[in-house]
Chain A
Amino acid sequence: GIQVEQSPPDLILQEGANSTLRCNFSDSVNNLQWFHQNPWGQLINLFYIPSGTKQNGRLSATTVATERYSLLYISSSQTTDSGVYFCAVDDKIIFGKGTRLHILP
Chain B
Amino acid sequence: GAVVSQHPSWVICKSGTSVKIECRSLDFQATTMFWYRQFPKQSLMLMATSNEGSKATYEQGVEKDKFLINHASLTLSTLTVTSAHPEDSSFYICSAMGQGKKVFRGSTEAFFGQGTRLTVV
Interface residues, chain A, with chain B CB atoms under 8 Å away: 30-31, 33, 35, 40-43, 45, 48, 50, 86, 88, 91-98
Contacts and interface: CB of A to CB of B under 8 A. Distances in A.
Nearest to A31: B108
A92 B34 contact: yes
Dominant SS at the B interface? strand
A13 B49 CA distance: 37
Interface string B46-69: 100100000000000000000000
B43 A98 contact: yes
B110 interface: yes
Interface of B: 1, 34, 36, 38, 42-46, 49, 91, 93, 95, 107-112, 114-115, 117
Contact of A86 (B43, B91, B108): B43
B1 A45 contact: yes
Q: Which of A30, A43, A91, A92 has the most CB of B within 10 A?
A: A43
Contacts of B45: 95
A12 B14 CA distance: 40
Interface centre among B38, B46, B95, B107 (most CB of A within 10 A): B46
B43 to A, nearest CB: 5
Given A41-B115, A92-B34, A93-B110, 11 more contacts: A31-B108, A41-B91, A41-B93, A41-B117, A45-B109, A48-B107, A86-B43, A86-B44, A93-B95, A97-B43, A98-B43
Given A41-B38, A41-B93, A95-B44, A88 B115 contact: no
15 contacts: A33-B109, A40-B114, A40-B115, A42-B112, A42-B114, A43-B95, A45-B1, A45-B112, A92-B34, A92-B46, A93-B110, A95-B36, A95-B43, A95-B44, A97-B43
Q: Nearest 3 CB-CB pairs, A to B? A: A31-B108, A43-B112, A48-B109
B40 to A, nearest CB: 10
A43 to B, nearest CB: 4
A97 B107 CA distance: 24
A51 to B, nearest CB: 13
